Amino acid sequence: MPSSNNTMLKQEPIALDIQHLNVYFGEGHEKFRAVKDVSISVAAGGSYGLVGESGSGKSTVLRAVSGLVPSWDGTVAVNGEPISKKREMSYCRTIQMVFQDPYASLHPRHSIDRTLSEPLRLHKFDNIDDRVNQALVDVGLGRSFRFRYPHQLSGGQRQRVAIARALMLEPDILLLDEPTSALDVSVQAEILNLLSDIRKTRQLTYILVTHDLAVVAHMCDEIAVMSHGEIVEVMDVETMRDSKPQHEYTRELLEASEGYQPEA
């Protein structure tokens, strides 16, 4: 099984190293292994794509790393330091997540100001006022959005707020769980551009989960394909572009991204 035998040049230190990750749901007879022996390592400043069909465990990997699913084993190391089951406050600062559905991931009764300043207060940051304003400017919204509520924003604007929230704590690693799948293509282009710019200016490390191969090819250098909880193939973006993937499921994904082909 392919694991972390990355062929990429690795001068950069490893930002996120996941080894033999297993995630379980349920108890006793019902116990289900949703993620099976997944190993991924991402260099600092790198962008890693996870693709696969729904139920393949790709989002679960992110949720385990971010601490949203407690029932996992294996090792996860961030900047060389293995993390414990109980998350330290400092860990939360280094790794942040952007969720799939901007209509569901923002608290409907909290103003944008409250959404963005809450993590700052929890982590005892100073200059909260300036930081919130700056964050809104950085994601291209501007200060005027600060005291609005999510229902007053469009999907793309909400996703910008979600990205701003993830950036509030100045993390090193961003976990992106299908950040554009709920958005129109024109808005998707804006959000993807924003994410690329932020990665460049802040030297962030991304893990991007998606089922859209074109998005992954645009954003990532290296791609892992998951199926039924396992990584079935790891390849770089060139291999994918040349349509040379080894695994059948990857080929199917590629074919589908070309559009519809009638039954032969």
Partner 1 sequence: MSKALLEVEDLWVRFASKKRVVEAVRGISFSVGRERVGIVGESGSGKSMTGRSILRLIRHPGQVEAKKIHFDGQDLQALSEKEMRDVRGHKISLVMQDPKFSLNPVMKVGDQISEAYRVHTNASKTEAKERSIEMLNAVQIRNPERVYDSYPHEVSGGMGQRIMIAMMLIPEPDLLIADEPTSALDVTVQRRVLQIMDKLVQERGMGLIFISHDLNLVASFCDRVIIMYGGRIVETCRADELQNAKHPYTRGLLNALPDIHKPKDQLSVLERDPKWIEDPSVDAFL
* DSSP secondary structure of 60-128: HHHHHHHTS---EEEEEEETTEEPPSSPPHHHHHHEEEE-S-TTTSS-TTS-HHHHHHHHHHHTT-S-H
CB of 219 to partner 1, least distance (A): 8
Contacts with partner 1 by CB under 8 A lie at 53-55, 155, 184-190, 192-193, 196, 211, 213-215, 217-218, 237, 240-241, 252-254, 256-263
CB nearer partner 1, residue 92 or residue 189: 189
CB of 189 to partner 1, least distance (A): 4
* DSSP secondary structure of 27-61: -GGG-EEEEEEEEEEEETT-EEEEEE-TTSSHHHH
CB nearer partner 1, residue 115 or residue 250: 250
Cα separation, 133 vs 176, in Å, equals 23
CB of 228 to partner 1, least distance (A): 12
CB nearer partner 1, residue 68 or residue 256: 256
CB of 118 to partner 1, least distance (A): 29
CB of 154 to partner 1, least distance (A): 9
CB nearer partner 1, residue 37 or residue 190: 190
Q: Give yes or no for a contact between 219 and 206, defined as CB atoms under 8 angstroms apart.
A: yes
CB nearer partner 1, residue 23 or residue 215: 215
CB nearer partner 1, residue 90 or residue 193: 193
Q: Give the β-pairing of 230-236 and 32-43.
A: unpaired
CB of 78 to partner 1, least distance (A): 29
Residue whose structure tokens are 């193939």: 233
Cα separation, 22 vs 70, in Å, equals 11
Cα separation, 105 vs 124, in Å, equals 23
